[in-house]
Amino acid sequence: MRIIPAIDIIDGKCVRLSKGDYDTKKIYNENPLEVAKSFEAHGIEYLHLVDLDGAKSSRIVNYKVLEQIASKTNLKIDFGGGLKSDSDLKIAFENGANQITGGSIAIKQPEVFKSWIQQYGADKIILGADAMNEKVAISGWLEESKEEVIPFIQSYQQEGIQYVICTDISKDGMLEGPSFELYQRILDSDLSNRAESRLKLIASGGISTFDELPKLAELGCEGTIIGKAIYEGRITLKQLENYIINK
């Protein structure tokens, strides 16, 4: 299972929210590059970078942070937040994103999102299926759609999607443990019967202790995104380094 630390950006600074509420913003570091370099120094290869300003606006905002981290580390970055047009996608890839995550656009402009899958391929496009009460949330989690999360994922599997990040918003930033049961049901509902195209589910939200990581791996999660647990010292970078070395 891949370990994917998260850096969420507001005003160019590294922050965390609780349950996606912008009013709960806590700044952890004013230099995201410094944080990214500390991840890389501990053997981490991947980074989940979220443009929270972009998620609330109608366009990508913090692409300079993306460019800085991509040019000064070897981290493979998946970038999300505010990707609403072909030009946003172009900016993200030109500034060093290895993959992009689309959530709101997959609900609001499905034809555009489907065209991205066709144009860039399933290895470059991640479906963001962030859920509150198992309904997909959009626009920086400020809106709840009517789409139920499992049928939503299945509909995009039929369009070729393989990578899915699922965040249970009620768990996000709460350090109360992830949604094991939801992830189990998502994996059980995988439509693919071929190993090479099976669902690559990335768990996100609520990770609070190191012991949860082997459990997520056992479920069959392809990766896990860890945010506040790192910043609050619940999981150390040394623990993650040892996990990566020994897995």
Catalytic residue numbers?
8, 130
Buried b / exposed e over 3-40, threshold 16 CB at 10 Å, is: bbbbbbbbeebbbbbeebeeeeeeebeeebbebbeebb
Report residue 20: phi and psi, to 5°: 75, 10
CB 31 within 8 A of CB 234: no
The CA-to-CA distance between both ends of the chain, in Å, stands at: 8
What's the number of CA atoms in the CB half-sphere (13 Å) around residue 32? 27
